[in-house]
Amino acid sequence: MRTGDHHLAGGSDPTDLTDLTDEANYERVRLPSRRGLLRLSAGAGLTAGLSAGLPGGLTAAFGPRPASAAAGIVKPLPPELFIPQGTNAEMRWEAMRGQGYLTPADRFFVRNHVATPLIDARTWRLRLWGTGLRGAPAEDRPVEFTYEDLLRLPSETVTAFIECTGNGRGFYTSQQGQEVSGTAWRLGAVGVARWRGVRLATVLRRAGITPEAVDILPRGLDAEFVDKGENLGRVRRPLPVAKAMKDALLAYEMNGAPLPPDHGFPVRLVVPSWAGIASIKWLGDIQVADEPLFSPWNTRYYRLFVPGYPEEGSAPLTRMNVKSAFELPWEATVPARPHALHGRSWSGNGRIRHTDVSVDGGRTWRRARLRDRHPNPRSWVRWDLPWRPERPGRYELLARATDETGAAQPTTAPYNTLGYLFGAVVRHPVTVA
């Protein structure tokens, strides 16, 4: 771990538990034994986020594995909003019920390969280097931008979803009976926020990007990622220059507030419509190259691997596919009287054209009412539909969206070993009581 790295906050004070880059502190946060928690709560340097997650009597509040201290995530993870998934936290879809258009930061899913680092914006620098910049600056002599530099550049606001490529992965197994590896998300690894920052194009131009540049490689400041004993280095994923120049944002605000630590403070990339892995958090440096770049995140992950097809897999995944979700608990219980069903649909291809809903397991379909008159092509659309359940019992609710390219949700998602892009219609179990 790079604890001596001056990008990262915190020193060697063993009671400073805000420093998640310290191995021992991180262990205590990651595997909170009851004694560890007591030590945590006594620690002077406890962050507001952590203490908010540890209210009142610890013994009363938690069982053996408290969700609120899961695996290196700083913000509280109350069980009514989140499902813990290892180092990650999935949003419960019922947490969007009664919310506005955006996903509030307190319930936005977190996908961390390792753990949230706490970074000091005053010493942080964004460093650009490589053969795709004028003068080809070396990695140790980069073009630098401070946090203040970025705040002073012209800003832009983009409302866009960020979605994990594995969102829905659990349904390969539970709905299609297929074995896949990776986090078994249901549909809660997606959120929509209003991101404000500087266009990546602006910063690349100022850094001297040349017409020969073809790929950039943004890299995070979180700890190196070790997969089954193999150190793959820091999280980094090549992005073609064309997409980087088109609509990628260096975001420093989320829903009108500074980025929260878990979502990339001080600065993250937001790459609209693309696989969530493109939106690198805790951005530290960007290599700009006049030749194609590779990292494990565009070779061994984030491609479709299918038995019987070439071993190197598909082309690297880019746009996300069409999906829909009901704003209901998984398994939901609803009253046996007329009420409205609510949900949202989204697609990386652009606007949602319509969403059809079935309350009888897929035999008949009705078109939902889209609640957003001018759907945003980089975001979701809210919809609703009245439902008068005829009798108590078990139901399966289905929602199937079609986007502006004509792409619709299929009945079955094409199998791939890593379980990416589950876009099939999900059968949501509901009991009418």
- Residues at the site binding Mo ion, with contacts judged by CB under 5 A: 111, 164, 276-277
Enumerate residues 196-225 that contact ligand MTE by CB under 6 A. 220, 222
Examine residue 7 and tell whether it contacts ligand MTE (CB under 6 A).
no
Token duo for residue 430: 């509901």
- What is the residue-wise DSSP string for 163-194? E-TTTTTHHHHHTT-----S----S-SEEEEE
Degrees (nearest 5) of the Cα angle 19, 23, 25? 50
**Number of C-beta neighbours around residue 210 at 10 A:** 14
Is residue 109 a contact point for ligand MTE (CB under 6 A)?
Answer: yes
**Smallest distance, Å, CB 259 to ligand MTE?**
9
Length of the chain: 433
- Applying CB under 6 A, the span of 6-14, 106-114, 178-186, 360-368 interacting with ligand MTE comes to 106-114
Number of shown-chain residues binding ligand MTE (CB under 6 A): 18
Q: CB under 6 A: which stretch of 172-180, 278-286, 311-319, 388-396 binds ligand MTE?
A: 278-286
Q: Which does 235 bind (CB under 5 to 8 A by kind): Mo ion, ligand MTE, none?
A: ligand MTE
What is the C-alpha separation between 208 and 143, in angstroms, rounded? 9
State yes or no: residue 281 binds ligand MTE (CB under 6 A).
yes
Per DSSP, the three-state class of 261 is helix
Rounded Cα gap, residues 72 and 63, in angstroms: 18
333 C-beta neighbours (distance < 10 Å), count: 10
Q: Residue 296, SS3?
A: helix
323 contributes a contact to ligand MTE by CB under 6 A = no
For position 276 contacting ligand MTE by CB under 6 A, the verdict is: yes
- 378 contact, one of ligand MTE, Mo ion, none, CB 5-8 Å limit per kind: none
| CB of 283 or CB of 401, closer to ligand MTE | 283
Residue 8 interacting entry, from ligand MTE, Mo ion, none, C-beta within 5 to 8 Å by type: none
Report if residue 81 touches ligand MTE, rule: CB under 6 A: no
Tokens of 137: 């600056």
Q: Does 112 bind ligand MTE (CB under 6 A)?
A: yes
Shortest Cβ distance from residue 113 to ligand MTE (Å)? 3
| 237 to 222, 247, 360: CA distances (angstroms) | 14, 17, 43
- Nearest-approach distance from CB 94 to ligand MTE, in angstroms: 18
Axis crossing angle, helix 34-42 with helix 23-30, rounded to the nearest 10: 120
Partner interacting with residue 110 (select from ligand MTE, Mo ion, none; CB below 5-8 Å by kind) = ligand MTE
Pick the closer one to Mo ion by CB: 113 or 428: 113
- Find which of Mo ion, ligand MTE, none residue 71 binds, CB within 5 to 8 Å per kind: none
In Å, what is the CA distance from 24 to each residue of 15, 39, 80, 328, 364? 10, 12, 30, 39, 57
Q: Which residues are near ligand MTE by CB under 6 A? A: 108-113, 162, 164, 220, 222, 235, 263, 276-277, 279-282
